[in-house]
Structures are given as structure tokens and as C-alpha cells.
Amino acid sequence: MARVSVRDIADMKARGEKVPMITVYDYTSAQLADSAGIPMVLVGDSLGMVVLGYDSTIPVTMDDMLHHAKAVARGAKRCMIVVDLPFMSYQLDDQQALANAARRVQEGGAHSVKLEGGERSAHTVARIVETGIPVMGHIGLTPQSVHRLGGYRVQGRQRQEAEQLIKDAHALEEAGAFALVLEVVPSPLAGLITRHLTIPTIGIGAGVSAAATSKFCTTCWGCTQTSGQSTSNDSLI
């Protein structure tokens, strides 16, 4: 069976289908997701909290991500593999961002990368897309900015915050992102953003209004999940 591509994801959105995604960190979980017919898997920097026991995603390194991405690539034969760019692996300049995105594809077996930030990251998204690497955007609660945000809290409840998130979403779509993660934003706002974009939105703790929902493999397999992870905090919405 052919590998799922960004075109397949766009076609699912056009047909009004949900585009489920699951976050996985290892060979076995990738195999399970593949056999379940999940179209996209994310190798998230959340592995820092879920697998490595850190209290945030900030300590996660490029080598950490590549190690887990390679394991997932060996297990997922049909899923599209999205791999996170970790903290400070793309923020310095274009050269750094392009080099690290390329490592995800060449060494890690990724088919696309995900990075955090809205308008401030749009230029970086555009440059990576120009090289031929698909990019998934990520706005709302951006865990790499947890210290600036003051903790793992709902984003977009205030009018000014909501308006900025809408601007961020449009900026990322215009930059060429093929999909957009909305993490821990109010469900009505997630629905509004989803209706105004042509690319699929993927909700993480954002209610049911996004075009799809992402879950951790540890949640789906019934394992205990590290406290503080936003995917377990739908009650915040």
C-alpha cells in the first residue's frame, strides 16, 4: 500500500474526512498505528516528558529526536511521519532551520517536520517548504515557550490572544504549512480557525471543533501519562 502523502491529507480535508494523528515514540507503537490505519504519526518532542522523564520539552535535543524518529520510521510503513524540531533547533536563523529539517528527513526518516510559533515562525516555514520539506505548524499552547506563557494554560481566552491566534493561523497557511496543530485553545476558537483555513487543523486539547484530533500513544494504549501533558487536559477547555 502506498505511503500517505501531503496530497492525501489535503484530499481527506477536501472530502470532509477527519485526519487523525497519533504521537508515537518507538518501533512497536509505530507498527500499531500503521496497522490501525492511522494516516499520520507524530514523533513529538513531548517524548521528553512522556519517555525521558523531564518536566518540559525544553531539554530534548536533536539527537534525542533522531533516535526516536529512526525507530518510528522502521515501524511505520504506510503512515506519513511528522517529526518535531526541538527547542532552539530552528530559531537562530534560516541556515540552522534548513539544516536540522534536512537531518529529520535524511537521517530520521521523516516525511515532514513540525515547528512551533505563528507569525514569528512563518518565514522559517516558508524557507523549509521551499526546499521541498512539508511543514506542519503549531500554535496555541506551544510547550517550548512554557516559561514565557507562565505554564501549561489555555491560550486564546482573551480577545487579543484569540485575534493573534487567528493571524498566526493565516500566516502559517500562507507560508505553505500543509496542516496546523491547535493546542489547548477554546473549542469555539478552534472551530473558527478551522472554518477559515483550507488546510486541516489538528486539535490537541482543543475540543472537537478542529478537523482532527491528535492523541498520545500512551493514552491510546492505556498507559499512565506524565502529568502536565496538554493532551490529557481537555478539561481545561
Catalytic residue list: 183
> How close are the terminal C-alpha atoms of the chain, in Å?
38
Distance of CA 91 to the CA centre of its chain: 17
Sign of the four-CA dihedral 158, 92, 83, 23: negative
Name every residue whose Cβ is closer than 8 Å to that of residue 139 and which is 6 or more positions away in sequence.
Answer: 116, 117, 118, 165, 168, 169, 172, 180, 181, 182, 183, 185
